[in-house]
Structure 1
Amino acid sequence: MQEVIIGILFLAALFFMGRKLYRQYKAKDSCATGCEKCSPSSSKDFKMPEHLRN
């Protein structure tokens, strides 16, 4: 019975680790959590400062 419980816990841990890795590489504009709090806004234009232009 103990082996079954350990096996279930191990499979659950593998599932959550795999899901985290999948979300990390799937996400384009946000972090691995998928909450979209830290994603940059797409409507904001970036302007290069004058002293950095060639």
Structure 2
Amino acid sequence: MQEILVVILFITAAIFMGRKIYMKYKAPSGCASAGCDACAPTKKSVKLPEHFKSYFY
């Protein structure tokens, strides 16, 4: 019984990791490939609160 559970767990983990790898390297599609740049990342500036500035500067 334990062997069956281990095999099922291993197969589930292999499917999960395979899907993650597939989704990571899948060819992009959608509006970004159309050339309109609507989905392009934008430059965002981050403003730190005053009490954090003493830690980083």
Normalising by structure 2, what TM-score? Answer: 0.49
Compare the two structures and name the one with the higher helix fraction. 2
For residue 4 of structure 1, what is the aligned residue in structure 2? Answer: 4
Normalising by structure 1, what TM-score? Answer: 0.52
Q: What does 1:8-47 correspond to in 2, within 5 Å?
A: 8-28=8-28, 42-43=37-38
Tell me: higher relative CO, structure 1 or 2? Use CA pairs within 8 A at least 6 residues apart.
1
For residue 32 of structure 1, what is the aligned residue in structure 2? Answer: none
> How far does residue 27 in structure 1 lie from its aligned partner after superposition?
4.8
Write out per-residue CA displacement over residues 10-30 of structure 1, whole angstroms, 9 at most, x where no aligned residue. 00000000000000000527x
Structure 1 residues not aligned, in runs of 5+: 30-40, 46-54
Moved beyond 6 Å, runs of 4+: none
Aligned partner of 2:3: which letter? Answer: E
